Amino acid sequence: MSDNSTQNETDCLLADNTANGILLAIYSVVFLGGFIGTLIMIFLICRTNTRSVTITAVINLVVAHTVFLLTVPFRIAYIIQKKWIFTTIFCRLVSAMIHIHMYICFVFYLIMLGTRFVIFFQHKDKIEFYRILHSVATSAAVWIVILIIALPTFLVYGQNSIPNLPDRCFYFHKELSSNIVIIMNYIIIAIMISVVCLLLTIQILIIVKVVKKIQGSVLVHQEFWAQLKSLFFILVMLFCFLPFHLFRIYYLKHTDSCSTYNEISLAVTALSCLDLSIFAIHTYFHKVCQRNMCKCLI
């Protein structure tokens, strides 16, 4: 459940410079795209109803992305300099944040999608909190629970595997030899894979049902676009989170193999920061299609 790199790199097919180039490219795209998307969503949120449960989830995603993006420049600096110039405890914190970010996003994706499923099956227009204060309190409660459970766990188990080299960071693999940590990883992997597959199945069935109900072009119907938004967030989990967890199944039993692949798969999880940018583009494209009576091509 933390960044992994080992001293035994004999199984690596990628040269160090190539691996660093890939990591640098991913984190640079994450930082720039995530920052732009966050600004766009803040502007859009200011013009919406903040008592909506789904909007509340989006606001929390903005917060999660923002906090994580603040740590990305330190990762980029380490990749470029190949030397950690900050403290060990800060290395643990930066290492933990990419995992915490992933699972916080996963939780709020679930809240958002669960709300959308309830709205669809119960034929409601939307689900709202009674007051804005209730949405704030609910969000705070979720964050407190997640941080109380997650942050201490990552900081305690994030012990540097090379303590004699304080200028090295993200070298955490010894904790994977603990049976408790291995069991926790397998449980998390099973939950992640099962939930994503279940959500994808439900969403496909909903889209099929909507398409069958709609007569004429589906592109002019708001309900169809709403379901595409839900599908989008499921695809984010599918392409950003699952590769890391699937590779984790192999890596838990081969921690002495090349850790570069694990680091790259972990970096891919950070691409979820681009969800708000793509979501904003999707929203704009939807409005353009409606304005032009959907004469545009998809």
Q: How far apart are CA 230 and CA 206, in angstroms?
A: 10
Instruction: Read off φ and ψ for residue 21, nearest 5 degrees.
Output: -65, -40
Q: What pLDDT, on the 0 to 100 scale, is given for residue 9?
A: 46
pLDDT tens-digit series, residues 170-202: 766 666 667 787 888 899 999 999 999 999 999
pLDDT of 147 over the 80 cut: no
Q: What is the DSSP string of 176-233?
A: GGSHHHHHHHHHHHHHHHHHHHHHHHHHHHHHHHHHHH--S-GGG-HHHHHHHHHHHH
Which residue in 167, 237, 228 sits closest to 196, CA to CA?
Answer: 237
pLDDT of 89 over the 90 cut: no
Q: What pLDDT, on the 0 to 100 scale, is given for residue 187?
A: 92
- Sorted by sequence, the CB contacts under 8 Å of residue 28 that are 6+ apart come out as 76
Instruction: Read off φ and ψ for residue 73, nearest 5 degrees.
Output: -55, -30
pLDDT of 1 over the 80 cut: no
pLDDT tens-digit series, residues 263-283: 899 999 999 999 877 777 766
Please give the structure tokens belonging to residue 235. Answer: 């695809």
Full set of structural domains in the chain with CATH: 16-289 (1.20.1070.10)
Lowest mean pLDDT among 39-48, 74-83, 116-125, 259-268: 39-48
Global pTM reads 0.84
